[in-house]
Amino acid sequence: MPTAQQPIGVFDSGVGGLSVLQALRAELPHERFVYLADSGNAPYGERGDAFVAARTHTITDYLLQHHHIKALVVACNTATAAAIHEARARHPTLPVVGVEPALKPAVAASKTKRIGVIGTRGTLTSAKFAKLLTSLHGQAEFIVQPCDGLAHAIERSTVLAIPKAPAATETLALCARYTGTMGGFGSQPGEIDTLVLGCTHYVFVQDELRRLLGPAVQLIATGQPVARHTRRLLQAADMLALDSDTLDPACAITLLTTGMLAPLQNAARRWLQLPAQCCASMDLPTQGINPVE
């Protein structure tokens, strides 16, 4: 049986899920975490459901077998839509938390009831997202925009420790292109006053989005609701690490990647203020688990 001292597993197709890890650390400061970025296979949003499901199961099995995780946070909208129900069925005793575009909080926050949603094509064309939209029929008008290439551009921006102008220009141009097709943004009737960030990567271009859309538009992400839900599940299972538990900061967080190591190290420093020593590269084939020492 898992214990409170075991880590929480978190994974995403790349570095975007670090935004969820950021919220988890704030909500659960006494927990240990193992984060896996499947950057060698990113972006998930432009791959088929069968591939994403296979990666989800491989990563879950690895985190259970090698890190003995007590809970799993699927910090990827695409993987949540494609595979979370299967993951829960395969591991019925493991608390599994997914992410989805935060439409319900957006409805509560919006005054104009005209809400924009940006995400990967895989997320926004999924049956899970369609069901979520249907459940909110009549409560607001949703303008849904797939952002092909944006998550991948954010991944590329981490290749250099200090992003150069071309990387920043690329993400800004993509943000401008996609939001420009959605209609007017603002606080007046008929304008989009709330934008849902339907991909965990997009948290890291909030500044660009705010420059484009102005201060009147609210940006809604998923990290904090996911962190609060994770806390509730751990409390219910009596597996919450308490402040009385001894936690060595040096081993509190492990960051792994199936891609190049430097981008994860750069992202960890830039967005989580974590040292490069927390990061390691690994090989994780879908058939057979073979971590690199």
Catalytic residues, by residue number, are 76, 199
10 forms beta bridges with 35, 73
Residue 250 burial by CB count (10 A; 0-12/13-18/19+): exposed, middle or buried? exposed
Check residue 163 and give left, alpha or beta (phi > 0: left; psi -120 to 50: alpha): beta
- What string of DSSP letters covers the chain? ---TTSPEEEEESSSTTHHHHHHHHHH-TT--EEEEE-GGG--GGGS-HHHHHHHHHHHHHHHHHHH--SEEEE--HHHHHHHHHHHHHH-TTS-EE-----HHHHHHH-SS-EEEEEE-HHHHTSHHHHHHHHHTTTT-EEEEEE-TTHHHHHHHTTSSSS--HHHHHHHHHHHHHHHHTS--BSSSTTSB-EEEE-SGGGGGGHHHHHHHH-TTSEEE-SHHHHHHHHHHHHHHTT-PPPTTS---GGGSEEEEESS-HHHHHHHHHHHH---GGGEEE----SSS-----
Cβ neighbors of 108 (< 8 A, separation 6 or more) are: none
